[in-house]
Amino acid sequence: MKQLFYVSNTSLSFRGKEDIEDILSKADSYNNQTGISGILLYHSGLFLQLLEGESADVDHLYSKIFKDPRHSNLTVLFDIAATQRIFTKWGMAYRDVNELDIKMVNQMLSWTRLIQGSKDIDNALILKMLEQFKERISIDQLPNLAKE
């Protein structure tokens, strides 16, 4: 199994929410068939994505993403062997990154260096950041008990 993490810019043809919904819909179907998991983060014209799964499946999916006209300037920050997944419950988790998320990231590593595709960021810090996003998504999906 491997984990591949990349950052990219949206292209001029990107249609915002409509394209994000299309990407997530296709990811749900494809990833369930191939056993890929991960997370897609989006913020102001930037994608950050972790893909997890068998090496050949991840490589094939990344080659499709690389050719997708909605992406430009793709930079792989790491492509590593892994013993366990972070996003076991999701074919593709999603988070529209907000300012509080960026503050959380800046407590661990530099958001600016991350989105610029700096390859000298420790992979362990990026994985720790992704774990934090996993927790935030899980908390956001809890029912609001105050309403009951």
Inter-residue contact 121 to 106 (CB < 8 Å):
no
Distance CA 49, CA 65 (A): 11
Range of the domain at 18: 2-142
Residue 141 has a pLDDT of 56
Q: Is there a domain that residue 92 lies in?
A: yes
Read off the pLDDT of residues 7-37 as tens digits, 9 standing for 90 and up: 999 998 899 899 999 999 999 889 999 999 9
Is the pLDDT at 122 greater than 70, yes or no?
Answer: yes
Apex CA 93: angle with CA 87 and CA 96, to 5°?
135
Q: Where are the alpha helices (DSSP H) in the chain?
A: 17-34, 55-67, 99-108, 111-115, 123-140
- Global confidence as pTM: 0.90
Read off the pLDDT of residues 73-104 as tens digits, 9 standing for 90 and up: 999 999 999 999 999 888 889 999 999 999 99
User: Residue 60 sits in a domain of what CATH number?
Assistant: 3.30.70.100
Tokens 């909605």 correspond to 70
Q: Is there a domain that residue 148 lies in?
A: no
